[in-house]
Structure 1
Amino acid sequence: MTTSLPLLYTHVMGSHGFPAWFWTALDKIKAGEYGQTDARETFDDATQLAIRDQERAGIDVICDGEMRRFFFVQTFYGKMEGLESLEPLRKTGLYAYDSVPRYRAVKKITVPRGLGTVEEFQYLKTQTDKPVKATCPGPVTLSIHVQTRPGDAYNNDRLALCWDLVPAVNAELKALVAAGADWVQIDEPSAAIVPGQIGEYVKMFNACVEGVKAKVGYHVCFGNLLSRPRGKRSYRWMFPHLLDCTCDQFVFEYANREMAEIDMWK
């Protein structure tokens, strides 16, 4: 990142809100009413909107708003092999955590063609002259909508599933650096949502960033589906293990928390 930044610079976590017209367009894309070019232009327009919003707000470091990702991680499952789709548990009423599509591992999961974040980043670079960062979900978060059950491909072992995703995340981060990213952020809200194994999650994170020659941020939150958290809003149980992460920056959630637990950063 060659541009000089102020001491207290600003950047966003990653996801930008979808405007109403974009939801309408997504419905038409899903229904097959848009051609390939129509769909590409729609996603480009939405990404430009997110970038312009950040620029108008005076944000110092810009991201693409993750506008090409549906509900944060759902888009990535289409890039994985070894998954079988399952019906959502809830199909009526308010969209909730049990409304999202779910998956089952029928064999060991692979990501042979990457997660697609490089293409997102390449477009971002063409749309702003300001410093930029790239975001990529971590292995625990990528696993969150994959069910684990006795007798499945991972025999109910979520940690084994997550470790199988580590090489894909590491390769994705290195590809981002090769594409010009000098700041990458790994998003792992699920590390705070699924308690009790933080030491293993730290090892996974460090394996993901091994050999990644860039500024590395680690984003941990509690889930945020339509402003509703999925886990208990507390980082306390994650310490001191979290301090063993090989990263340059922690990106924590304080929205609606009034800077709770700030005393832990002394």
Structure 2
Amino acid sequence: MNKLLPTSTAGSLPKPSWLAEPEKLWSPWKLEGEELLEGKQDALRVALNDQRQAGIDIVSDGEQTRQHFVTTFIEHLEGVDFEKRETIRIRNRYDASVPSVVGAVSRNRPVFVEDAKFLRAQTTQPIKWALPGPMTMIDTLYDGHYKSREKLAWEFARILNEEARELEAAGIDIIQFDEPAFNVFFDEVNDWGVAALERAAEGLKCETAVHICYGYGIKANTDWKKTLGAEWRQYEAVFPRLRTSGIDMVSLECQHSHVPMDLIELLRGKKVMVGAIDVATDTVETPEEVAEVLRKALRFVDADKLYPCTNCGMAPLPRNVARGKLAALSAGADIVRRELSA
């Protein structure tokens, strides 16, 4: 994209109330069968229109056709039993009842490809599509088959690569892998996590991104953040390895976070999606607040490599709040764009 400071979102946008219960993560669908399919496509159109109206440059599906950013993908795979559930600790933060890996995992059919084709037909703008990353996928399951986090991650990386190649063929411009687990399991990230991520992106000609945040604005995450102290330096453990990786872009959380901005220097040479919108509050940022985050980031990333973004997904927020935040992101980027051109 030739435009300076092109804006995008990290992923999810709120779903319309006729599709799923609003302001709730992982809300069940309100429709069934053909009505659900049509409802999801209508929601895709609405999410796209909201982004266009706000002036977002790189659009996404807003994850309108998914209940959960990880498990919706896993639901379509063989080898995972959603009836056989176990309680595990998710990212060392909270307990959850999760499905079990009961056999060899495989993907017998595309998961999001038809949705991507539908979205591609609605717009000529660049599209970014999010997939769960291998390490975050294994952290959302009980593994009773491989009994090895690394082995299962490599299997998922192979499956993700199959999906990513088909998404690219469907016209997707940027494929983003969501890896919040990279902010927790530092040794594994450096030992094999980044390598598994590169396997997921293998052979892609479109741009690739990894999104590493401190999570949705849900209580389990906000409580965890309170324990991290005055400075959040988690990125410091993984950025050096990502800088030497084959992944093109890194998406991170900067607005109202305690991440020292100079950590972005560790990514010098990469494109950086700078989170300038806080998703853990209903307060809509002013364009100037967004601009201030971007100005700080520009000390550590070249202007042609800075992509203003949201900290994380906005699914749990009220729709009017999310729309306001999109508009603020766009207006804040525009302020800095004008400053740079002057």
TM-score by length of 2: 0.65
Instruction: Tell me if structure 1 keeps the 8 A contact 2:174–2:209.
Output: yes
Instruction: Tell me if structure 2 keeps the 8 A contact 1:117–1:136.
Output: no
- Matched with 2:198 is 206
1:50 aligns to what SS in structure 2?
Answer: helix
- Matched with 2:5 is 8
Of 35, 38, 46, 2:35 maps to 38
Of 113, 129, 133, 1:134 maps to 129
CA positional deviation for 1:145: 1.7
TM-score by length of 1: 0.83
CA positional deviation for 1:88: 7.0
2:19 aligns to what SS in structure 1?
Answer: helix
Counterpart-to-counterpart distance in 2, 1:70 and 1:195: 28
Of 92, 98, 102, 1:102 maps to 98
Q: Deviations over 1:141-174 (max 9, x none)?
A: 22222113xxx3112x111111111111111111
Q: How does 1:164-183 map to 2 (within 5 A)?
A: 164-183=155-174
Indicate the larger mover: 45-54 or 17-26: 17-26
Amino acid at match of 2:171: G
CA positional deviation for 1:228: 4.7
* Residues 227/13 of structure 1: CA separation in 2 closer, same or farther (3 Å cut): farther
Amino acid at match of 1:154: Y
Q: Deviations over 1:44-85 (max 9, x none)?
A: 122222111111111011111011111211212221111223
Identity within the alignment, %: 29
Structure 1 stretches lacking a partner, 5+ long: 91-95
Counterpart-to-counterpart distance in 1, 2:2 and 2:220: 33
Counterpart-to-counterpart distance in 1, 2:173 and 2:185: 30
Amino acid at match of 1:249: M
Indicate the larger mover: 249-258 or 68-77: 249-258
Instruction: Tell me if structure 1 keeps the 8 A contact 2:86–2:99.
Output: no
- Matched with 1:261 is 260
**Aligned-residue RMSD, C-alpha:** 2.5
Counterpart-to-counterpart distance in 1, 2:160 and 2:8: 22
Instruction: Tell me if structure 2 keeps the 8 A contact 1:51–1:62.
Output: yes
Indicate the larger mover: 61-70 or 122-131: 122-131
Q: How does 1:75-224 map to 2 (within 5 A)?
A: 75-85=72-82, 86-87=84-85, 97-99=94-96, 101-114=97-110, 116-148=111-143, 152-155=144-147, 157-199=148-190, 200-224=192-216
Instruction: Tell me if structure 2 keeps the 8 A contact 1:104–1:146.
Output: yes
* Residues 251/223 of structure 1: CA separation in 2 closer, same or farther (3 Å cut): same
Instruction: Tell me if structure 1 keeps the 8 A contact 2:120–2:170.
Output: no
1:22 aligns to what SS in structure 2?
Answer: coil
Say which structure, 1 or 2, has more relative contact order (CA 8 Å, 6+ apart). Answer: 2
